[in-house]
Structure 1
Amino acid sequence: MLTCLEHFPNELLFHVFRYTDTRDLFHGFYGLNQRFISLLKSLQNRSLIIEKNESKLICVFHCQIHKLVVDTCLNIDFTKFPHLKSLILYDLTENHLSQIRSKLMPNLTYLSVASTNTSWYLTDLLSCIFSDELPSLTTVQLQNPIPAYSNISFNISLSLRSIAVCCRSSYIIVNILSCCPNLRKLQMIVNENQLVLFYNTTIVSNYSVKTFILSDVYSMIDSNDIIKLLEYMPNIERFRLSFTCSVPFIDFARIVVDRSPHLDEFDCHIEMSTDDDMTCIESLHQLHPALKRITFTSDEIGYRTYSTD
């Protein structure tokens, strides 16, 4: 007997729809019959990528969208998505920025501005994030470089728990640590342009940060800068470091262990800027249990790379 999709029970269709793109559901099933219309209307926690005018699709699914990816400069009315929790912007416009407010997005918990964005509105967005404008916001990812001397208004933000920021200055990091007392995870992405580190800064300890991730593929930051950063985050439990080290790795590891009494995990991809014949891998493993997964490889002239990959 020939079996059609319409013969499937609702439970099986719901399972299939869970793995189907919202746009494909709209074009493939909406309007097919009353049963499928009712099934689509009952779906929850949907994601939608907007790349063009999607007025018809939005009209059908707007109350079911929890995650929205905006890859267009077109004006978007975010009030049409009353249950929006996650927003990813590839082109931040004045229209987008004006709507990132708690009264228009009361459920927003995740906000990301992607690396392709070169908007003039980034500073205004940061001033909005680090304020009481978005009391439900817990996670922020800013992949566009923040200028070293941005005129950002930093105010206390009690909701933020996780921040990933691409920056050119320790000024940004220090202010984030001081204005986010409940921050648990900080990721610092170092830009290839000149980095300004620790100018006229006072130590503001943030005891809530447990995870610190550093990504510096351009070798703009060295081990002394990281050691300085540790003074601001005394309760770190998890490290993930990718940078070029200018001192014997065993010396750097000792300082990290001494200044991180709660250390539990240490992941790394650390290249040496000089031949590191002082570091014995067995001695390194004995420093702390979190370092036991570290191995090293050497290039043809003896320069090492320490890794937990």
Structure 2
Amino acid sequence: MTNTSSKFEILPNELVIKIFDYLNTFDLFHSFYNLNIRFNSLIQSLKSLHLTLLENNQSSNDVYLLSPYIHTLILLGNIDIKLHRFRNIRRLILHYPTNDLLNQFHTVTLSHLEYLSIPDVLFGMSSVHQKIFSNTFPNLKSCYLFAFETIETILPWTQTPSLRILKIGFIDFHVYKALLSACPNLFSLQLKMFQSYLQLSCVKEHSHLKKLEIHSEITDWLYNDRLIDMFLGCVPNLEQLTIYRTVSVSKIPELITDYDWLASILPIRSLQLKSLNFCLHLEYHFESTQSINTETCRQLKDCFSNAHQNRYQSRFVVK
């Protein structure tokens, strides 16, 4: 045993670190931490230590031993854990978090956090939004949030200047305005557009946003286009636009004959546009046996292509 240990210890630091990369974080600490000063220093120098916890699969004492050295923390389900103990995390991913875990955002300060993902929460995110969009995490660069509820700005947001990439759930135009104001350096935004009958108003232009992805299930395409027009009017320097739209199969003939595929909006709102992707999701009803054939798909693509006339790179997809 002593001979084996001595052979491992003569390996250069670079090779030891490579070996560490193949080990589970718990195994790494249980096997090598506190063996000697050299191994402690090597482990503490690692910049990509990640920890994934399932429901109550490790004791708190084991977890908190590792917590100062974890850079990526992934939590799945009902886990009793104190986020403030992970003071050096850069990436935090929460799947199906409990209300108790979300409530920790009221008080927790994660000053090094760069990426936050909460992709599958149904309700109860208002306090989290308040913290994110009021610069509680000053190094946050990328954020993925989704909740079934429509996002509201009940409390005033301040600003999060560090945020560059944002994926978010259902919002209307008023929340859109608040997001652009709260994230002045936002580069990429993905959203689900929510239908609102409140009076639409103008907003100060956001000059840094270059990529916008809009998902919409609004069946009133005339109103949908009006909303998109308003959304685009806020981001004059947009370079990449992706639109996901839903349409009933029964409405396809109207699209072929009457719809202009945003061609009347983009030349006015998006003068810097370089790329347009349009994804059309077909909605089949139980009582309908209609389907579209290859020729109809070709006609749709031709209508789309003719509407935009190679002014920018464009791509049309039917699903």
Q: TM-score range by the shorter chain?
A: 0.7 to 0.9
Choose which of 102, 119, 122 in structure 2 pairs with 1:118: 122
Q: Return closer, same or farther for 1:48/1:280 CA change in 2, 3 Å cut-off.
A: same
Contact 2:261 2:307 in 1 (8 A): no
| Partner residue, 2:311 | 288
Choose 133-142 or 218-227, whichever is displaced more. Answer: 218-227
Q: Which amino acid aligns with 2:313?
A: A
| Corresponding position: 1:178 with 2:181 | yes
Q: 1:283, CA displacement in angstroms?
A: 3.1
| Corresponding position: 1:266 with 2:265 | no
SS of alignment partner, residue 162 of structure 2: coil
Q: 1:260, CA displacement in angstroms?
A: 0.7
Long gaps (5+) in structure 2: 248-253, 284-291
| Partner residue, 1:137 | 140
| Corresponding position: 1:233 with 2:242 | no
| Corresponding position: 1:147 with 2:160 | no
SS of alignment partner, residue 262 of structure 2: helix
Contact 2:72 2:90 in 1 (8 A): yes
Choose 206-215 or 272-281, whichever is displaced more. Answer: 272-281
Larger fraction in helix: 2
2 CA distance for matches of 1:96 and 1:149? 17
Q: Normalising to structure 1: TM-score of the pair? A: 0.75
1 CA distance for matches of 2:305 and 2:152? 44
SS of alignment partner, residue 167 of structure 1: strand
Q: Which amino acid aligns with 2:206?
A: N
Q: Return closer, same or farther for 1:215/1:15 CA change in 2, 3 Å cut-off.
A: farther
Contact 1:239 1:266 in 2 (8 A): yes
1 CA distance for matches of 2:27 and 2:307? 53
| Corresponding position: 1:97 with 2:100 | no
Contact 2:126 2:151 in 1 (8 A): no
2 CA distance for matches of 1:282 and 1:42? 53
2 CA distance for matches of 1:234 and 1:55? 50
What are the Cα deviations for residues 222-245 of structure 1, in whole angstroms up to 9, with x where unaligned? 333322311122211111221136
Q: Which amino acid aligns with 1:234?
A: P
2 CA distance for matches of 1:289 and 1:295? 13
| Partner residue, 1:200 | 199
Q: Which amino acid aligns with 1:286?
A: Q
2 CA distance for matches of 1:212 and 1:258? 16
Q: Which amino acid aligns with 1:288?
A: R
| Partner residue, 2:163 | 160
| Corresponding position: 1:22 with 2:32 | no
Percent identity among equivalent residues?
A: 23
2 CA distance for matches of 1:16 and 1:285? 54
Q: Which amino acid aligns with 1:125?
A: V
Q: 1:262, CA displacement in angstroms?
A: 0.8
Long gaps (5+) in structure 1: 297-304
How many matched pairs? 286
Q: Return closer, same or farther for 1:140/1:11 CA change in 2, 3 Å cut-off.
A: same
| Corresponding position: 1:85 with 2:101 | no
| Partner residue, 1:301 | none
Q: Normalising to structure 2: TM-score of the pair? A: 0.73
| Partner residue, 2:46 | 43
Q: Which amino acid aligns with 1:15?
A: K
SS of alignment partner, residue 163 of structure 1: strand
